């Protein structure tokens, strides 16, 4: 007598419906954490012993790279139009604070107009630097 085995193997299913949610959350995480635009700009800040950690990072940033090019929020902007652009960005904001990062090798004739523009736009500047031990 031949006994026929019933072959009713079913495929093992791994529910992957939630994988999308996980991936989406990871993407949000990395988007929030990354600072891609600023990393592309070559701007090494100077050192000073008289600085401390900036606790509240301002939402608006002005970066001047080693070639003297100014960037507002990561987008290149002409220094001549910086005052108007910053004024517009700060309109309506309670704290008019701007994070200012300037390359340490720039000369005053290059960064001076940036300071002047921000001053005229009524911005309070958070000048970025790297901490240094006291003494020069």
Spatial distance between the Cα atoms of 3 and 38, rounded to a whole number of angstroms: 73
Q: Restricting to residues 70-129, which ones interact with other proteins according to CB under 8 A?
A: 97, 99, 101-109, 111-113, 115-116, 118-120, 122, 124-129
| Minimum distance of other proteins from residue 86's CB (angstroms) | 12
Q: Torsion over CA of 3, 4, 6 and 7, rounded to 10 degrees?
A: 130
Q: Following DSSP, what letter does each residue of 70-83 receive, concatenated?
A: EEETTEEE-GGGHH
Query: What number of chain residues touch other proteins (CB under 8 A)?
Result: 62
Q: Which of 37, 48, 67, 76 touches other proteins by CB under 8 A?
A: 48
**Other Cβ atoms within 10 Å of 10 Cβ, number:** 5
Q: How many CA atoms lie within 13 Å of 109's alpha carbon, on the beta-carbon side?
A: 0
DSSP symbol at 3: P
| Minimum distance of other proteins from residue 75's CB (angstroms) | 20
Give the nearer residue to other proteins in terms of CB position, either 77 or 128. 128
Q: Report the interface residues with other proteins, using CB under 8 A.
A: 1, 3-6, 10, 12, 14-16, 18-19, 21-22, 25-26, 29, 32-33, 45-55, 57, 97, 99, 101-109, 111-113, 115-116, 118-120, 122, 124-131, 134-136
């Amino acid at each position: 007598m031949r006994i026929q085995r019933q072959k009713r193997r079913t495929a093992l299913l791994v529910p992957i419906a939630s994988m999308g949610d996980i991936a989406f959350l990871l993407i949000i995480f990395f988007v929030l954490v990354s600072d891609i635009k600023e990393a592309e700009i070559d701007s090494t800040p100077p050192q000073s012993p008289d600085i401390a950690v900036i606790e509240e990072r301002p939402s608006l940033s002005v970066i001047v790279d080693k070639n003297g090019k100014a960037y507002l929020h990561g987008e290149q902007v002409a220094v001549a139009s910086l005052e108007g652009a910053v004024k517009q960005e700060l309109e309506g904001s309670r704290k008019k604070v701007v994070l200012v990062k300037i390359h340490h090798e720039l000369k005053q004739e290059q960064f001076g107009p940036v300071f002047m523009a921000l001053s005229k736009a009524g911005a309070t500047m958070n000048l970025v630097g790297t901490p240094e031990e006291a003494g020069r």
